[in-house]
């Protein structure tokens, strides 16, 4: 547990030093949402309908782009090798790192979403569901993206490969996440999709750190 917290604290300290790391995804998210709105004819009714989908995919891309180099620095400076010589299970350390990543990148995006939601004409109840769904969905996304970036760690250029690996894996998250908002929009209870999101998150929390640790080990061997 101590090691878990130590890894987390280290990540948070590093992020505090580099403000761009958590600030830029927010700007990216806002710009993407703006571009969608500008691409539509002004105040087009479908924009309101497509709102949940746009806000979800925007958050997804913003989180994904910043996770590409997740393990890069640790790989270059040898921290990853330290993970493997430490007595703690690597999956635990990876989980700490990913939790910190969610705090640095996922949480701000979740908090920005309601502001953008208002711009897309969402009411108070809808933005509440949006925040809840992102709160449950983005951690799962960060975990899956962490797994994928562990697979490609050490490769000279990964470019578009990481999104291609991650996006098929997060389809259920998007379906349930945006679906919860749309269900609330139609007056249906949003509980069921949110429970599904929770179930997916639990599955990811249990399985992904192990898979990511295996991927890192493979990349380092």
Binding site for another protein (CB under 8 A): 147-148, 151-152, 155, 158, 161, 164-165, 167-169, 171-172, 175-176, 179, 182-183, 186, 188, 192-193, 196, 200, 203, 207-208, 211, 214-215, 218-219, 221
Give the nearest distance from C-beta 189 to another protein in angstroms: 11
The distance of closest approach from Cβ of residue 151 to another protein in the complex, given in angstroms and rounded to an integer, is 5
Pick 30 or 175: Cβ nearer another protein: 175
Decide whether 102 or 176 has the Cβ nearer to another protein.
Answer: 176
Nearest distance, CB of residue 168 and another protein, angstroms: 4
- Give the nearest distance from C-beta 106 to another protein in angstroms: 20
Nearer Cβ to another protein, position 104 or 212?
Answer: 212
CB 29 → another protein: shortest distance, Å?
24
**Which of 136/167 has CB closer to another protein?**
167
By C-beta, is 8 or 152 nearer to another protein?
152
Q: Report DSSP letters for the chain, one per residue.
A: -HHHHHHHHHHHHHHHH-HHHHHHHHHHHHHHHHHHHHHSPTT-HHHHHHHHHHHHHHHHHHHHHHHTTTTHHHHHTTHHHHHHHSSS-HHHHHHHHHHHHIIIIIHHHHHHHHHHHHHTT--HHHHHHHHHHHHHHHHHHHHHHHHHHHHTTT-S--TTHHHHHHHHHTHHHHHHHHHHHHHHHTT---HHHHHHHHHHHHHHHHHHHHHHHHHHHHHH-
């Amino acid at each position: 547990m101590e090691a878990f917290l130590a890894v987390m604290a280290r990540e948070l300290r590093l992020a505090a030093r580099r403000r761009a790391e958590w600030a830029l995804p927010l700007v990216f998210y806002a710009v993407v949402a703006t571009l969608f709105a500008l691409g539509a004819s002004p105040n087009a009714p479908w924009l309101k309908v497509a709102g949940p989908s746009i806000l979800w995919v925007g958050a997804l891309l913003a989180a994904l782009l910043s996770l590409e180099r997740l393990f890069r620095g640790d790989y270059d400076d040898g921290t990853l090798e330290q993970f493997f010589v430490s007595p703690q299970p690597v999956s635990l350390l990876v989980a700490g790192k990913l939790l910190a990543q969610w705090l640095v990148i996922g949480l701000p995006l979740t908090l920005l979403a309601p502001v953008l939601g208002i711009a897309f004409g969402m009411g108070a109840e809808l933005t509440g569901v949006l925040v809840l769904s992102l709160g449950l969905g983005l951690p799962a996304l960060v975990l899956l993206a962490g797994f994928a970036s562990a697979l490609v760690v050490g490769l000279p250029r990964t470019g578009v490969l990481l999104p291609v690996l991650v996006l098929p894996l997060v389809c259920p998250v998007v379906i349930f996440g945006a679906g919860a908002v749309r269900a609330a929009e139609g007056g249906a209870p949003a509980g069921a999709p949110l429970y599904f999101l929770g179930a997916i998150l639990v599955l990811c929390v249990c399985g992904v750190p192990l898979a990511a640790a295996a991927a890192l080990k493979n990349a380092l061997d």
